[in-house]
Chain A
C-alpha cells in the first residue's frame, strides 16, 4: 500500500492516537515519583509523542493533495 493512498484523515488518526497515548504516559510519569518514571517518560512517552509528530509531518508530504488537483 502506497503512503499517499492512506489519505490525510488516516494519517491524522494515527498521529493523534500516538500523541494521546504518549501524553497519557507522560502524565503517569509526572505523577509517579520513581527513577523508573524518567525512563517511562524518556524512552516510551517522548518516543510515542515524537513518532506522532513525525506521522503528522509525513502526512504533509505524502498525503497532501496537489494544488493543481484542488483547482479542478
Chain B
C-alpha cells in the first residue's frame, strides 16, 4: 500500500523523468505535441509537485511528533504527560479531548506557519533562533494565547455554555478581553519550569 509520501514521491519522480527528457533533447519541442508536452513537463507537473509538497509538509507539521522534534519543544512535549488534571494541555492530551497525534496543532492553530503572514514571518524568525542563534527562554507566544483557540471547540458545547461562571463573562471571553488562561481560572499550561517536580502519566499503566 502506497502512503501519502509514496504518492508525492512517485509524482516527483515522474516529473524528474519528464524534465530530464527536455534537458537531454530540447529539440523534441519543435512540433505542437512536443510544445504541449513541454508545457506539461516544465510547468504543470512541477507546479503540481510544489502544491502537493507544500500540502504534505503542512500536514506533517500538524503532527505532535513533528512539533516536539525541535529540541526547544521537548519539554513542552513532556508536559503533555504530567499526571495532574489542573494542567490544561496534559488533561486535554491524556483524555483525547484533542487528537493526541495532533495535540499541539489543535490548540495552536494560528501558530507560525498556520497563521496569517505576520505569524509566518514570526515562524521564520523562530527557525533562525533555533538553528543560528538560541531560542528565547521562556518561549512565549507573540500577542499572547488567544481565547479563540479554546472557543473553536468549547463554544457551543453544553458543559461550557451552561457553566454559570462562563455565562456571566461570555462577552469578555469571546471578545478576548478576559483570557481563559491568564485570568486566574485555567492558568496551568505547559509549566515547563517546574516539570522536574511533577509526576508523569505513563500510557498503558
Contact = CB atoms under 8 A, between A and B. Distances in A.
Interface in B42-93: 42-43, 46-47, 49-50, 53-54, 56-57, 60-61, 66, 69-70
Interface in A26-58: 26-27, 29-31, 33-39, 41-42, 45-46, 49-50, 52-53, 56-57
A48 to B, nearest CB: 10
Given A12-B42, A13-B26, A53-B46, A20 B57 contact: no
A30 B50 contact: no
Contacts of B113: 38
Contacts of B127: 35, 39
Interface string A1-41: 00000001110110111011011101101110111111101
A50 B43 CA distance: 9
Interface size class of A (residues with CB under 8 A): 35 or more
A23 B49 contact: yes
Interface residues of B, number: 35
By secondary structure, the A interface counts as: helix
Contacts of A41: 53-54, 57
A34 B27 CA distance: 41
3 A-B pairs with the lowest CB-CB distances in the bound complex, closest first: A9-B26, A16-B23, A12-B26
Interface of A: 8-10, 12-13, 15-17, 19-20, 22-24, 26-27, 29-31, 33-39, 41-42, 45-46, 49-50, 52-53, 56-57
